[in-house]
A and B are shown apart, each in its own frame.
Chain A
Amino acid sequence: MSVSLGGSAAIVGIGQTEFSKAAGRSETQLAGEAIVAALSDAGLTTDDVDGFVSYTIDPVEETELVRALGTPEVRWSSRVPYGGGGSQGVLLHAAAAVAGGAARVVVAYRAIKARSGSRFGRAQVSPRPTSAHSGSTASQWCSPFGVLTPASWMALNATRYMHTYGVTSADFGRAVVQLRDYAATNPNAHFYGTRITLDDHQSSRWIAEPAIRLFDCCQETDGAVALVVTTADRARDTPAPVIVAAAATAGLFEEEIASNHYRPNLEVMEGSVALAAQLFGSGIARSDIDVAMIYDAFSPILLMQLEALGFCGFGEAKDFIADGNLAPGGGLPCNTNGGLIGEGYIHGLNLTVEAVRQLRGVAVNQLDDPSTALVTASRTGVILQRPL
């Protein structure tokens, strides 16, 4: 987002369904439930909504959603390309829409049945639909070789990262132990009440050796979340607004969405480097970030993003984590809901909801008075701030 847009939009409502392994209802219904909850949270109604944004991979049709909600007139809608790496792009789209006057109240949502419906972790050789803009066109070059899942796509990058910087599976494990600590005290988390040790992590079975064990993987989850975005001016009349201080997306040439195998240096998440240049070019410094929510579909990309975003040097995330920086009293408390690995995988957008809760002071693992939160998902990100 350009600096001129920074701070002109706000998140005024958050909502979600329960997170489960079997929702027992359609994604459209899940989206509707989360949106109604988010609007109620904002003190608004479906009559106030005139914009929608989700990801291209989301199965909910706007027309059906609008019919369900009873929204009188949609003035603006958009979709961010593909899946979770685009998740925070919905905030850029929504903020740009309200700041530019294209819409007044935009709902960002993601509804998913990643466990009872189409599982990301299932071996499928038939190509996933490319016409639905799922970002999987490049998978035709992977599936003939048994590279069938996001874990197998990302393990190729992660192995290179381990090789370049001397990172081990135990280094990933230390991050996972921290995430599971946060999840253990989050009743909304799949892993509520179940901490693990590093030994537990190291004895969990291989998914894609030497990078990804079972406990390095996010939880395939059913559920939906929604966030309501409006102008900063209008947000003043709502109960608990959070300012969108900066939002950005960075889609680099030949950086594919999940199966990013063709850029020269895969040990660095270059999309996150470009993202950080935008986000931290807006007058907000890394040292201003009180809490970070970083897309952890698999634990290696948590370390790789910490480095690419500039919170530590390249190859140093393992030490940054071992020093306790991601913990509540650390230098960068991170994924305080347990992350996608500990809480569940609503494709990244549940991380944004947690950031809002932290800034409102109502998170289950509430930090001490945070005022600035960062949420990133590879090539998309947002900085949120509590109003002055």
Chain B
Amino acid sequence: MCPECHSVEHEVVELAGTGTVYSYAILHHPQHPAFSYPVVAVLVDLDEGIRVVSNLVGVEPPEVRIGAPVRVMFQATADGLTVPVFEPAGPT
């Protein structure tokens, strides 16, 4: 339900897939076999104004920066599914 108007209608909208790193955490412990450590967890503020939890890939953990521009890519995960993760994007 939409918390603004209480409509229960919905539609799928394609987003640009670009945003900036709002925050991050480099996860060391505990470790689960499904992931390779350290895991770079990020909060990404998408350009459309939505915040998502995801991973930053293609970057060494010490290079993670708040405010860095990122763009989405899709990565295989368990059970043949894919999840949206992010990689560094050059300044636009």
Which residues of A are at the interface with B, using a C-beta cutoff of 8 A? Answer: 121-125, 141-142, 144-149, 152, 155-160, 163, 205-212, 214, 253, 259, 261-262, 266
CA distance A162 to B52 in the complex (A): 20
Query: In angstroms, how far is the closest chain A Cβ from the Cβ of B38?
Result: 7
CA distance A103 to B69 in the complex (A): 57
Write out, one digit per residue, whether chain B residues 58-87 have a CB within 8 A of any chain A CB (1) or not (0): 000100001000000000010000010100
Q: List 19 A-B contacts (CB under 8 A).
A: A121-B30, A125-B34, A144-B83, A145-B41, A145-B54, A145-B85, A147-B25, A147-B53, A148-B30, A155-B41, A156-B43, A158-B25, A160-B43, A163-B66, A205-B28, A208-B28, A211-B25, A212-B25, A266-B43
**Residue pair A156, B26 in contact (C-beta under 8 Å):** no
**Residues of chain B within 8 A of A266, CB atoms compared:** 22-23, 43
**Residues of chain B within 8 A of A214, CB atoms compared:** 29
CA distance A209 to B31 in the complex (A): 14
**Residue pair A123, B3 in contact (C-beta under 8 Å):** no
CA distance A47 to B30 in the complex (A): 46
CA distance A89 to B38 in the complex (A): 37
The CB with the most chain B CB atoms within 10 A, among A157, A158, A159, A214, is that of A159
**Residues of chain A within 8 A of B24, CB atoms compared:** 156, 159
CB closest residue in chain B, given A141 = B53
CA distance A124 to B85 in the complex (A): 20
**Residue pair A146, B28 in contact (C-beta under 8 Å):** no
**Residue pair A159, B61 in contact (C-beta under 8 Å):** no
**Residue pair B51, A152 in contact (C-beta under 8 Å):** no
B10 proximal to A (CB < 8 A): no
CA distance A211 to B31 in the complex (A): 17
**Residues of chain A within 8 A of B34, CB atoms compared:** 125, 146
**Residue pair A146, B32 in contact (C-beta under 8 Å):** yes
**Residues of chain B within 8 A of A124, CB atoms compared:** 32
Write out, one digit per residue, whether chain B residues 9-35 have a CB within 8 A of any chain A CB (1) or not (0): 000000000000011111111111011
**Contact flag A207-B35 (CB < 8 Å), given A156-B24, A156-B41, A160-B66:** no
CA distance A142 to B39 in the complex (A): 12
**Residues of chain A within 8 A of B42, CB atoms compared:** 156
CA distance A141 to B44 in the complex (A): 13
CB closest residue in chain B, given A139 = B53
